[in-house]
């Protein structure tokens, strides 16, 4: 019989009024690379309580050989689709941190989303376009890219593929 003990360190960063969650870091193996994950909106995850999205991200990144991740979102508000300047600053700082050599975008298809959601995504893409010496990926099911972890096609397993930056004219750079 063999016993295995795993310690998972979780750290969440909230606004002073607890209405915004800016980052959620989860590390199970500090000797492996960590990824910065950029998803759509903050959930009720708080370091102990986990949403299905966080569980799916954890399982898939573990299978891909990562030692943990830091999750941030287009929208930092916990109860609605809202963000603030602290969220954009947090994303910029995390994206430029040496702690996360890989950035993985997984906010899903935004074509049917409100214009404000698409505008927020453009702001984040512009931040990421200016990050130096990083690998920027998106979640893929082998056919489509930029899948949200809750998409049935990637819940059990996803790959990551290079993110293709698109200029405002729609031309891939």
Structure confidence by residue, pLDDT tens digits, 88-109: 999 999 999 999 999 999 998 8
Question: What average pLDDT score do residues 130-135 get?
Answer: 88
What is the pTM for the complete model shown?
0.91
- The pLDDT of residue 167 is 52
- The pLDDT of residue 66 is 98
Phi and psi, residue 48, nearest 5° = -115, -55
pLDDT tens digits, one per residue of 7-38: 999 999 999 998 899 999 999 999 999 999 99
Beta strands in the chain (DSSP E): 9-14, 21-27, 34-41, 68-75, 102-105, 135-140, 159-162
């Amino acid at each position: 019989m063999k016993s295995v003990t795993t310690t998972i360190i979780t750290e969440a960063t909230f606004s002073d009024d607890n209405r915004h969650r800016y980052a959620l870091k989860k590390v199970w193996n500090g000797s492996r690379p960590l990824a910065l994950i950029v998803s759509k909106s903050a959930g009720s995850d708080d370091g102990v309580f986990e949403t299905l999205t966080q569980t799916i991200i954890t399982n898939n990144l573990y299978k891909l050989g990562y030692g943990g991740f830091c999750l941030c979102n287009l929208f930092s508000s916990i109860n609605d689709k809202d963000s603030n300047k602290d969220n954009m600053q947090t994303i910029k700082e995390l994206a430029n941190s040496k702690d996360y050599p890989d950035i993985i975008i997984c906010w899903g298809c935004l074509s049917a989303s409100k214009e404000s959601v698409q505008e927020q995504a453009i702001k984040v893409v512009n931040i990421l376009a200016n990050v130096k010496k990083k690998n920027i990926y998106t979640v893929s099911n082998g056919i489509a890219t930029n899948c949200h972890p809750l998409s049935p096609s990637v819940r059990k397993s996803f790959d990551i593929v290079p993110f293709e930056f698109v200029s405002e004219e729609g031309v891939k750079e």
